[in-house]
Structure 1
Amino acid sequence: MLCKIALGNVRRAGKDYLVYLLTLTLAVTVFYAFNTISMQVDIAGVTAQNSGMGETLGSIISGLTVFLAVVMGFLMVYANNFIMKRRKKEFGLYQVLGMSRGQVARIMALETLFVSLAALVLGVLLGLALSQLMVFFTASLFKTQIADFHFFFSMGAFVTTVGCLVAIFLVTLVFNLRVVARAKIIDLMSAGRKNEAIKARNPWVSAVIFLVGLAAIIVAYVRLINDGLPYDGQPEAMQAFLITTITVVVGTILFFFGLSGFLLKALQGARGLYWRGLNMVTLRQLAAKVNTVSFSMAMIAMILFLAITSVTAGMSLASVMNENVERGTPVDYARTLVYFSPQSVDEMNAEQAGIAGDPDVPSEATTQDLRESGQARYAVATEPVDMLQASSGDTITAGEHAGESFDLASITGSSVQVDCYESTPIGASVPVVTLQDLCDAVDMPLPSGVSEAGVQAYGLAVVSESGYNEYRAFRGMEPLKVGENGYTLLSDMGETVNRIYNAVLGEDIELTIAGRTLAPVQDRVDENASVFTNSMMGMNSGTIVLPDSLVEELNLPLYNSYLMVNYADGVSVDAGDAYIGDVRTYGDVTNAAGEIVASWGSESTRTTTYESVDSMNGLISYLAIYIGFVLVVACAAILTIQQLSGVADAGGNYRILSELGTSKREIAHSVLVQQTIFFVFPLLMGFAHSCVALSVIIDLVALFGGMSIGGTVGLTAAIFVVAYGGYFLVTYLMSKGIIRDAVRVRHGE
């Protein structure tokens, strides 16, 4: 019997459950389709290029799905408060007719179960269709060809989706049961005649709350712009960012809570506007929900902020990598060598000898003493290591060449080695030139995201004129004459850093180094001639080219060496990449005395760099679209349910207005104004938050390459038009139907 009643209620209240069902169905569809990513990349051929991409994407999407399910569950539970308010009288009537609270609870549970099951069936069917189509989207993102397309079903994605839906169902059910269990029958029966209490009645209190919220938001904006994002993970930066986040969240809540009551009183003072048409009714309807609407609008604004920022920043970052990768991959293969500094050599030797931390052994004397005793294993390099020759110290451990030395010379056609030095001379503590020095010279601030302490401790890298011209000849460029009193600056980073270097060169800023006055020989940075390794992002944050004699005079320690290789004629890219890709162990990089002077750093081929870019683009695009779409749908759904429930609750008021001669068009216009405020105000606040956050993100990413959000505005706008705007349109059209039914019922009596 209870099951039959529940089914009848669902059929009878189909309009009430329509938006709820639609939202859950969309959630199930997206959850299932995106959680099939591991199977999609297999069919799309991505795993042939990157064997770990499927597992990586799958694990990230699964974790993100749980987070988004929590967000969706919270919003749906909050929205369900409005649905329950409309059903309270009905549940009270059940108890008046003799049903126990337990029976009423079981009816509610069954209704929720039926709707959830319907959403699961519809969502999985739609998800199956969407996941098949997404295979082609996946192939386009990762730039692969689909060799064997076939229908597929993912049990793992299905289980994850069902788990998320069950969690949402249980939380919603507990909330519903709690409402009925705590309510008295008289409260249930009279629920439709009650408005929520307006606590913030005093306009001055509302004004203070509004201004405090606005001030908190402004303070958070200023803090974020000044402090930037905690990209380096330092505890102090993380703590400051947490304070900023809490400030903006609290400020947003206070802003909306104070704005509602404050605007009501302010507009009541403007009598010409307040008494015009149905403005009085519209404002009273808005004020009647101040306790719940203000908080929900604040939360929706924050979630929309997250959605806008994730989609825009994510897709823009992918665009940056696409733009930079062509310039950042000048050779078939590149390898980096990192030299040990004097301090690190002393520490490693002391640790090797078992006397690390001994206060009786001065660190500066450790290496010399150990060398004399024959115990020293590490040393500071006095001359650059021949990287092509040193590569033969690696041993191939798998494949047809297993056990052989890594013979890089056998596949090398042309190559060049660029040796970079630290700008702090041996025995000195201050670099000869730092980014801060250059900023001071042209009266420009440090770029956002650059640590002040870091630029003081570490200067620009140094390259000799002859070494740099060998590099230019390898790249097919004309030599650059620095002479005995010239210099130039190199960088392949973004405009944030390069505008400083360009200002220094363009303004002919003279530098005094070791008593020698140097003048620039170029008027701006040549970014194409500043790339020393294969990378998807800028890696050369600042290098100064100095005369050979000055480099020798300064006695600078070696910092990095970069080996750039093009394959020999007759060696195909596939063959060369396959040989370099063989698993191998790295040998020690030693000097003539057998002491270790450096360690191998990163290495990459042009092919692997492009594949990494494609993989990152695919990953970022998936996450951005997934997060953005789900969050926007969740916010739009909560607003839709709120507004439809509010219109239904106000049906009696609209009947009275109709009897007093108000046309349905005027009533619908009043409802449209209310719904526009509820939909637009959170969007505007979220957009404002996003503008500030994106300005900081753009400055940070611009360190590695120019970032523009212009290319992603269309995608972001499309998501909002389809999801957010679509829900707004559905809300208004359904509201007009509710108004029409309410007025017709009264006139038909």
Structure 2
Amino acid sequence: MYSKLAKRNMKRSLKDYTIYFLTLVFGVCIFYTFNAIEAQKVIMKLNEYQAHNFSRLDKLMSVVSIFIACVLGFLIIYANNYLIKRRKKEFGVYLTLGMEKRKVSRILLFETIIIGAFSLIAGLVLGIFLSQGISVFTAKLFHVDMQSFKFIFSARACIKTITYFGIMYLIVFLFNSRCIGKIQLIDLLTDGRKNEKVRLKSIKVSVIVFIASIIFIGGAYYTMLKIAVDLMNMFTFIAIILGVIGTFLFFFSLTGFLLKIVQKSKKLYLRELNMFLLRQLNSKINTTFISMSFICLMLFISICMLASGFSISKTLNRNIDDLSQYDASLMGGKVNVPIDEFLEKNNIKLSDYANKYVKYNDYMNKGGEEQLKLQIKKFLGEEEASKYNSYFDVAHNSIIPIMKLSDFNNIMELTNKKKIDLNNGEYAVFSDLNGLIEPIQKALDNKTKIEVNRQELIPSRKPVIEVTIRNDLNKRNFCTFIVRDEVAEGLEKGFTFLNINFKGDKLKTEQDFSKAIAPLVDNNQIFSVSKESVRADSFGMGAMICYLGIYIGIIFLITSAVLLALQQLSESADNIERYKLLKKIGVDDEMINKTILFQVGIYFLLPLILALIHAIVGLKVAKVVVDMLGTGEVKGQLIVTTVLFVIIYGGYFLITYTGAKKMVKSNS
């Protein structure tokens, strides 16, 4: 009997369950898709490094999925709470007719099982098909070939999805039973006629709080932009706290502030249903400011995660050819002699592995005061340097290293690039950060003199050289001076390096060489970065960051849109009596629909607008991270982010407006 009643209720309340059901389906689909990534490696040709990075990606997705499950669990409970509220009168009728509360809970259990089963099946089917396309995208991110495309099903991801969502549905049932057990019959029958408790009644206080919120948010922006190049800082935490507090105060006071402004214009305030609309906004946003604030912050995170995730991944992939020009690059950690001599002392002969290699050092002026003469801001000029503070070394006014002309030319010869020459008293400059080429060239054009080893040098006529001189995961050579060998004699040695190109079967030789130097690497005596490891790590890191951004970004976007949609549908249901009264006094359907559109639109736009303003600062900070990895562009990836927002956020807005309009029309 209870199962039949539950099925009948489901059919009758189908329109109420639409958003709930779609959200569950999307959640299951995305959860399965990102947990099925590990199964995709069976169709890809992966070497040892690539397989290792693939496993790292799978572990990351597993850890993140726990967090995502908590977010989805909160969303499901929150959505279910609104559905319970929507049906309180129905439950009140059951109790009035003599049905026990435990039997009402049993009906809800059957409903939870029915909708849970259908959403799991539909979500898994969509997820299985979506994961097939994701496998192609994954292969492109890792830059690996696919052995043969075949249909992939991950039993592990399927079991994990069913387990996680099964637990969520169980929690939903327990939550429903608790709600039914606590609510009194009079509350069930009269809840729809209760008004929200307004927490902030004074408009003057609202204005003061609103101004305070702007001060908090402005302080957070200023602090973050000031310390953007050094995020591992206590002021980062302070800036985040200021931003969060400011956001909460903003929504707590916003409607009172707007009401004060609009009331000054009687023409605007009394036009059509503006007075009704503003009073509704003042009541609801004032009492739901916590959820509005969380929605705004989630939208902000979603924008930043999607835009910066795509951008960082693209930047890593774009720079990979420059960062892997040599079969291997070694750097001395605890080594004070040239690396080739150090390897010989440890019974490792480079001639066994390579025909060509280059050893070199970087140098610094001796003495603290002499070194300070080669600071990047001094070279570029304070005014010009201030324009490039998003670069870590510029912001920290790093000291520019020096390289011998012979060492630089040996590196150029190893990679078949053109050598350079210098006249007496001249210096040249090279960098691998494209974004700093322009200011460095300006310094050269201005005939900026430098002092190396107590000798004054002028720039040669050669333009700044953009070149990468060793393997690395990211470009970090902001600027290096090239001087004649005799000028560098007696300078303070920095690190010692070695670039090597293997002979014969490069992959096998690289593996043998890595095994030979492994004890030295493990003891941090030297550091080694091979071409294969750089490419695999770079593509793997790009894939992890990209998927992390997509996974969290989309989940937060869906969560925000669903929370707003359910709030507005619930409010429309609560306001049916008010809309009936408006119709009785002569308000036509067109004006009511317009009011509903404005109300839903304002609810969806307010958190989005503030999130976009937050994101402007957030993306500037993200650009600093991108600049540390190489030259990239965050703004260029906003097109993809915008498309996702239009489809998902805009889609939920249209569904909400259509549902609210139909609800008011059918009940009035």
Unmatched segments (≥5 aa) in structure 1: 341-380, 395-404, 590-595, 744-749
Measured against aligned partners, the alpha-carbon deviations of 1:456-482 in whole angstroms (never above 9, x if no partner) come to 7xx332212232233334444444333
- The aligned counterpart of 2:92 is 92
**Segment drifting more, 330-339 vs 295-304:** 330-339
1:601 aligned to 521, 524, 527, which one?
Answer: 527
Q: How do residues 693-704 of structure 1 correspond to structure 2 at under 5 angstroms? A: 693-704=618-629
**1:576 CA displacement:** 4.3
Specify the SS of the correspondent of 1:463.
strand
- The aligned counterpart of 2:554 is 629
**Letter matched to residue 310 of structure 1:** M
- The aligned counterpart of 1:316 is 311
| TM-aligned CA distance change 1:494 to 1:271, over 3 Å | same
Is residue 344 of structure 2 the alignment partner of residue 417 of structure 1? no
Measured against aligned partners, the alpha-carbon deviations of 1:153-204 in whole angstroms (never above 9, x if no partner) come to 3232123323432343344445444443333222221111122122222111
Q: How do residues 19-58 of structure 1 correspond to structure 2 at under 5 angstroms? A: 19-46=19-46, 50-58=50-58
Please give the alpha-carbon distance, in whole angstroms, between the structure 1 residues aligned to 2:177 and 2:312: 46
- The aligned counterpart of 1:450 is 392
Please give the alpha-carbon distance, in whole angstroms, between the structure 2 residues aligned to 1:477 and 1:522: 19
Q: How do residues 517-596 of structure 1 correspond to structure 2 at under 5 angstroms? A: 517-522=456-461, 524-528=463-467, 531-552=468-489, 555-568=490-503, 571-580=504-513, 582=515, 585-586=518-519
Q: How do residues 262-411 of structure 1 correspond to structure 2 at under 5 angstroms? A: 262-338=257-333, 340=335, 381=336, 384-385=337-338, 387=340, 390-391=342-343, 406-411=348-353
**Letter matched to residue 528 of structure 2:** S
- The aligned counterpart of 2:426 is 486
**1:545 CA displacement:** 2.0
Contact 2:40 2:152 in 1 (8 A): no
**Letter matched to residue 215 of structure 2:** A
- The aligned counterpart of 1:226 is 226
**1:278 CA displacement:** 2.2
Contact 1:442 1:503 in 2 (8 A): no
Is residue 667 of structure 2 the alignment partner of residue 732 of structure 1? no
Task: Indicate the percent of aligned positions where both proteins have the same amino acid.
Answer: 29
Is residue 409 of structure 2 the alignment partner of residue 434 of structure 1? no
- The aligned counterpart of 1:14 is 14
| TM-aligned CA distance change 1:692 to 1:551, over 3 Å | same
- The aligned counterpart of 2:67 is 67
| TM-aligned CA distance change 1:452 to 1:420, over 3 Å | closer
**Letter matched to residue 363 of structure 2:** Y
RMSD: 3.0
TM-score when normalising by structure 1: 0.82
| TM-aligned CA distance change 1:107 to 1:429, over 3 Å | farther
- The aligned counterpart of 1:707 is 632
**Segment drifting more, 301-310 vs 190-199:** 190-199
| TM-aligned CA distance change 1:702 to 1:452, over 3 Å | closer
Is residue 628 of structure 2 the alignment partner of residue 687 of structure 1? no
Please give the alpha-carbon distance, in whole angstroms, between the structure 2 residues aligned to 1:48 and 1:385: 30
- The aligned counterpart of 1:111 is 111
Is residue 407 of structure 2 the alignment partner of residue 467 of structure 1? yes
**Letter matched to residue 533 of structure 1:** R
Contact 1:442 1:504 in 2 (8 A): no
Measured against aligned partners, the alpha-carbon deviations of 1:300-356 in whole angstroms (never above 9, x if no partner) come to 11001111101111111112122222222333333323455xxxxxxxxxxxxxxxx
**1:66 CA displacement:** 1.4
Contact 2:389 2:395 in 1 (8 A): no
**Letter matched to residue 485 of structure 2:** D
**1:38 CA displacement:** 0.6
**1:430 CA displacement:** 5.3
**Segment drifting more, 38-47 vs 690-699:** 38-47
Unmatched segments (≥5 aa) in structure 2: none
**1:423 CA displacement:** 3.5
Is residue 240 of structure 2 the alignment partner of residue 245 of structure 1? yes
**1:625 CA displacement:** 1.5
Measured against aligned partners, the alpha-carbon deviations of 1:562-606 in whole angstroms (never above 9, x if no partner) come to 3223345xx3544544544556544599xxxxxx9x93122212x
| TM-aligned CA distance change 1:477 to 1:13, over 3 Å | closer
Contact 1:422 1:461 in 2 (8 A): yes
More helix by share: 2
| TM-aligned CA distance change 1:585 to 1:191, over 3 Å | closer
Please give the alpha-carbon distance, in whole angstroms, between the structure 2 residues aligned to 1:685 and 1:473: 54
- The aligned counterpart of 1:356 is none
Measured against aligned partners, the alpha-carbon deviations of 1:329-388 in whole angstroms (never above 9, x if no partner) come to 333333323455xxxxxxxxxxxxxxxxxxxxxxxxxxxxxxxxxxxxxxxx4xx5262x
Q: How do residues 114-125 of structure 1 correspond to structure 2 at under 5 angstroms? A: 114-125=114-125
Specify the SS of the correspondent of 1:702.
helix
Q: What is the aligned residue count?
A: 667
Contact 2:473 2:534 in 1 (8 A): yes
**Letter matched to residue 256 of structure 2:** G
**Letter matched to residue 412 of structure 1:** A
Contact 2:384 2:439 in 1 (8 A): no
**Letter matched to residue 60 of structure 1:** L
**1:634 CA displacement:** 1.3
Contact 1:493 1:704 in 2 (8 A): no
| TM-aligned CA distance change 1:681 to 1:51, over 3 Å | same
**Letter matched to residue 311 of structure 1:** L
**1:428 CA displacement:** 8.8
| TM-aligned CA distance change 1:655 to 1:22, over 3 Å | same
1:502 aligned to 425, 441, 449, which one?
Answer: 441
Please give the alpha-carbon distance, in whole angstroms, between the structure 2 residues aligned to 1:578 and 1:443: 46
**Letter matched to residue 354 of structure 2:** T
Specify the SS of the correspondent of 1:190.
helix
Please give the alpha-carbon distance, in whole angstroms, between the structure 2 residues aligned to 1:663 and 1:669: 10
Please give the alpha-carbon distance, in whole angstroms, between the structure 2 residues aligned to 1:729 and 1:212: 34
Contact 2:403 2:482 in 1 (8 A): yes
Contact 1:45 1:139 in 2 (8 A): no
Please give the alpha-carbon distance, in whole angstroms, between the structure 1 residues aligned to 2:41 and 2:614: 35
* Larger Rg computed on CA atoms: 1
Contact 2:400 2:479 in 1 (8 A): yes
Specify the SS of the correspondent of 1:564.
strand
| TM-aligned CA distance change 1:125 to 1:477, over 3 Å | closer
| TM-aligned CA distance change 1:618 to 1:335, over 3 Å | same
**1:228 CA displacement:** 1.6
Contact 2:376 2:394 in 1 (8 A): no
Is residue 551 of structure 2 the alignment partner of residue 639 of structure 1? no
| TM-aligned CA distance change 1:269 to 1:127, over 3 Å | same
| TM-aligned CA distance change 1:163 to 1:204, over 3 Å | farther
**Letter matched to residue 682 of structure 1:** P
Specify the SS of the correspondent of 1:559.
strand
Contact 2:216 2:246 in 1 (8 A): yes
**Letter matched to residue 641 of structure 1:** L
**Letter matched to residue 521 of structure 1:** S
Contact 1:260 1:294 in 2 (8 A): no
Is residue 655 of structure 2 the alignment partner of residue 720 of structure 1? no
**1:677 CA displacement:** 0.8
| TM-aligned CA distance change 1:319 to 1:644, over 3 Å | same
**Segment drifting more, 72-81 vs 634-643:** 72-81
**Letter matched to residue 510 of structure 1:** K
Is residue 598 of structure 2 the alignment partner of residue 657 of structure 1? no
**Letter matched to residue 274 of structure 1:** Y
